[in-house]
Structure 1
């Protein structure tokens, strides 16, 4: 069952009064969601709840009331939005949280609710980058080839099992939380660490472990970009998994645009 942390102001389901604030749901779990929460916390015009999927064992604290756990698909999300009388939804999930984003689009479309996607812009290759762009983890495995490599695998905890079919490689795996033991390849080292990371430390790490190829999701932002800069400096190929294609919801990359949407200044 979802866990909910609610401050003294009361749940969204409290009876509406004439001067009730705007009610919003922020689908979070990212630095963008945290920045938005910090920006609007304490504003009497708004009552917002941040929803986290619960995939990280120790999520960073939010200044807004927080619920943790899934909704039960599109129907469950529709039920939540209806029962809580939500006026607006912001999808500030991870760029690769494709299922949650699709559920949000479907639920908001069915209920006629305004939806905004607030996300970081994806990275773009610059001079010196040696990217091999692929659509998914299967493509990343294929791009590694048959010859044994020393791979810096930075795709997060989910999806590691996709690389079990290529056990000939050594993997340096970095995640926030401990992955399931059965998802780990035969030859690996594991780093449990949360960004941001510095270019100097990434360079030292890759040199010391003799990495010759990096696998990364193109999740954008500055927190983990240092590995891309380090790979460029070392002349390494980066197998870059491209973000999933989204729907037709409006997308912004700026916190002020997200704030304007919450207060009815954009749809």
Structure 2
């Protein structure tokens, strides 16, 4: 049984590790290629785009894929949509692995917004020293904001445009609570901006912000494609594959 995992997340790597250990399964992970030195999962790996839903559908047919797993980032809206269209067009069973959203706790000062553009609109008045953790492709949404000082953290170097005053930290999670506390204090951060990735690897910043009483602008996830079955964790996704395999 050939399983294609649309990956790039820690869950996708763990899922590939679990499934590749089953001799009855052939596992291929597809990575977008946006990271120069990605952490490679077990099994076969392909890197690069497919060319839209039609290209993905053609790949599914050409490589006799029996099951498609969308384990991309919760904000990878385009590839998730393409996966749904390609699966429907080819009759390939599809499951989306989606980690649960973060939930606000007592003491949190969250400001939920529907988009990066809305996050930029919300910033003035919340603070002037901003910790931006939206990924390198999200920084451009804040480029027009003057009078604010940004600390932007990403795995890969961001590209222009960027805010006029921006310090870039090139770091990859997981991050520790002690490390996040020290980072916020050392840079005198007044407001945090993040996407609701739901990742445990990056959640310590939320705890650190809560302890310091900082406001947090949280960009809400885009809606998942209609009609797509989901699993909240690796175990659930692996069970789905095993049921298909019989």
TM-score (norm 1): 0.89
State the shift of 1:263 in Å.
2.3
Q: 2:102 aligns with which of 115, 123, 126?
A: 123
Asked if 2 retains the 8 angstrom alpha-carbon contact of 1:119 and 1:251, the reply is yes
State the shift of 1:183 in Å.
2.5
The superposition leaves residues 38-70 of structure 1 with CA deviations (integer Å, 9 ceiling, x where unpaired) of: 112232110010000011111002111100000
Alignment of 1:109-188 (within 5 A): 109-145=88-124, 149-180=128-159, 182-188=160-166
Asked if 2 retains the 8 angstrom alpha-carbon contact of 1:48 and 1:65, the reply is yes
Q: 1:64 aligns with which of 13, 21, 43?
A: 43
Please say if 1:242 is aligned against 2:220.
yes
State the shift of 1:176 in Å.
0.3
Asked if 2 retains the 8 angstrom alpha-carbon contact of 1:148 and 1:168, the reply is no
Q: 2:33 aligns with which of 49, 54, 72?
A: 54
The superposition leaves residues 162-186 of structure 1 with CA deviations (integer Å, 9 ceiling, x where unpaired) of: 1111122100000001111x22221
**Matched positions, count:** 245
Higher-helix-fraction structure:
2
Please say if 1:256 is aligned against 2:239.
no
Alignment of 1:207-246 (within 5 A): 207-246=185-224
TM-aligned CA distance change 1:167 to 1:64, over 3 Å = farther
State the shift of 1:152 in Å.
0.2
Indicate the SS of the match to 2:243: coil
State the shift of 1:148 in Å.
6.3
TM-aligned CA distance change 1:265 to 1:257, over 3 Å = farther
TM-score (norm 2): 0.96
Q: 2:178 aligns with which of 185, 194, 200?
A: 200
The superposition leaves residues 67-111 of structure 1 with CA deviations (integer Å, 9 ceiling, x where unpaired) of: 000000011011101111111100000010000000000110111
Worse-superposed segment, 253-262 or 70-79: 253-262
For 1:4, the equivalent position in structure 2 comes to none
Asked if 2 retains the 8 angstrom alpha-carbon contact of 1:148 and 1:170, the reply is no
Asked if 1 retains the 8 angstrom alpha-carbon contact of 2:151 and 2:167, the reply is yes
Higher-Rg member (1/2): 1
Asked if 1 retains the 8 angstrom alpha-carbon contact of 2:109 and 2:214, the reply is yes
